[in-house]
Amino acid sequence: MNTKSELIVFGVAALALVGAAYYAKQKVAGFIPPVVREGFEAAGLLTGEAFHMLTNPLDAFGIVPQQGAGGKAYWTKTTPWENPNDPVSNNDSGMNFNYF
């Protein structure tokens, strides 16, 4: 078999597996207690959130850029050399307290 035909066979098998799982879920759904179904749903949500934390940690913990004019997102510059309004590093003494 070549690679293309193997991919087609794999795709058909995956589709059949998903269809069989959906059919089995519909048949068995009446026999599973609601608390078990809710537990599986909760486990699915927790797994999804864990995956989201691994793939996009800033967004998962609510750290998002500010919205500028027109709704365009931008990050606030916080490094001393990019932020002239930083009172810690840009003060009258000339000392940069970020390094202490």
The per-residue pLDDT of the chain, averaged, comes to: 77
The residue written with tokens 């599986």 in the block is 40
pLDDT > 70? residue 62: yes
Query: Which band of pLDDT confidence, cut at 50, 70 and 90, is reported for residue 86?
Result: low
pLDDT, one tens digit per residue, over 21-49 is: 888 777 766 677 788 888 889 999 999 99
Q: Which residue has the higher pLDDT, 11 or 1?
A: 11
- CA–CA gap between residue 86 and residue 69 (Å, rounded): 22
Q: Where are the domains of the chain?
A: 65-100
Query: What is the structure's pLDDT at 26?
Result: 73
Closest by Cα among 40, 4, 39 to 21: 40
Q: What are phi and psi of 67, to 5 degrees?
A: -100, 125
CA gap 53, 72 in Å, rounded: 24
